[in-house]
Homo-oligomer: A and B are copies of this chain.
Amino acid sequence: MSLIVQKYGGTSVGTIERIEAVAAKVAAASSRGDRVVVVVSAMSGETNRLIKLATDIDQRPDPREMDVLVSTGEQVTIALLCMALKKIGCPARSYTGGQIRILTDQAHGKARILDIDDAPVRADLEAGRVVVVAGFQGVDEDGNITTLGRGGSDTTAVAMAAALKADECQIFTDVDGVYTTDPRVEPKARRLDRITFEEMLEMASLGSKVLQIRAVEFAGKYNVPLRVLSSFEEGGGTLISFEDEGMEEAKISGIAFNRDEAKLTILGVPDQPGVAHEILGPVAAANIEVDMIVQNIAEDDTTDFTFTVHRNDYQKALEILEANASRLKAREVHGDDAIVKISLVGVGMRSHAGIASTMFETLAKDGINIRMISTSEIKISVVVDEKYLELGVRALHDAFELSGEMDP
């Protein structure tokens, strides 16, 4: 008998019919003998409807009251799902974040979970009931309603699984797992049976947005096996867990990419201590987040400094650089917002030499010029011209044989 936590997102509970389908899935797991805790989001569209009510009153509504308002979305879903479960003979009980006492800090709209009172849930599970928990919400120590921010239901599910020491936390969504790359770019992309937490973090932050990053971090921290699977199709999905021996075989798990970045370069800056801070300080002060940073020594004791920012921040960052160029004694400022970042991700590359050279060779063979390179333990990222995105991803997918079968 396993204890599993299942999470269904807004699309999966978007209509009465879909809620009934979720109830059937949950009841099936329960009748197989598993003890089941279900975490649900608001019905799709509901959170936006509530936000509009608030912004019709105030463009910047009070954060405490915003949480009181939007938390009703999940409360509606837990009640409806329990009704649907009971109708098909499956005993169930709903809990709001406040009722189960999902204790958070006081950061309204982006609260962090501090503690969960698992006693009532355990009592219900012992009594043979399915427990249905409102995702995305909690209470602070004064009993004020808080929310974890949008998409926070994933985090609730992982936190419940950690508190209950669940055997698995299953995230049901509208995709059936994590893929080697985006199937819209490479139709031969293949669903991964397994992936490590670290790889998943790199894949997620690089643009394959299947799961909330915070939920993955949380699952890794508490060693909760996480499974992504489809609400609408059968299938085993993708299991996200710590690496095991079988995983060593795979050098590369997938190829992530990001079209939302722009590149800025400042050329011929005197190469002296503190120059990086002098360049990036004003950018950070303008609340612009920087992603990749690369610095090269050029000739004449000067250095070239390149970094990427979100494309929305490109113009602003360029203006800041240009305004500072003379103070920095820079020769020139360049910018390019028609670039993409492509990243190879895989824990296997730690112990396998030659991944980087194979990657560069593959791109070169197709005439793709690399503008920027950045590496980490389990990732190699390159920046190339935007027009090469599909060509580059497909070439790398082939070169690293990601379309083939992989042992689970």
Contact = CB atoms under 8 A, between A and B. Distances in A.
Interface of A: 16, 19-20, 50, 53-54, 56-58, 61-62, 64-66, 68-69, 71-72, 75-76, 78-80, 82-84, 86-87, 93-94, 96, 98-99, 143-145
21 contacts: A16-B56, A19-B57, A20-B57, A57-B80, A58-B83, A58-B84, A61-B83, A62-B82, A62-B86, A64-B93, A64-B94, A65-B79, A66-B79, A66-B83, A69-B80, A69-B83, A71-B75, A96-B145, A98-B98, A98-B99, A99-B143
B66 A72 contact: no
Given A58-B86, A68-B75, A80 B53 contact: yes
Contacts of A64: 82, 93-94
Given A50-B76, A72-B76, A83 B98 contact: no
B76 A53 contact: yes
Contacts of A72: 72, 75-76
Given A65-B80, A68-B94, A72-B75, 16 more contacts: A16-B56, A20-B57, A53-B76, A57-B83, A57-B84, A64-B93, A65-B82, A65-B83, A65-B94, A68-B75, A68-B78, A68-B96, A69-B76, A69-B80, A75-B75, A99-B145
Nearest to A67: B79
Contacts of A96: 68, 145
B83 A62 contact: yes
Sorted nearest first, the 10 A-B pairs with minimum C-beta distance are A69-B79, A72-B72, A68-B79, A65-B79, A65-B82, A58-B87, A61-B83, A16-B56, A57-B83, A62-B86
Contacts of A71: 75
A185 to B, nearest CB: 39
Q: Chain A at the B interface: mostly helix, strand, loop or mixed?
A: helix
A87 B16 contact: no
Contacts of A94: 64-65, 68
A64 B96 CA distance: 13
Nearest to A58: B87
Given A94-B65, A143-B99, A16 B57 contact: yes
A19 B61 CA distance: 14
A172 B42 CA distance: 32
Contacts of A80: 53-54, 57, 65, 69
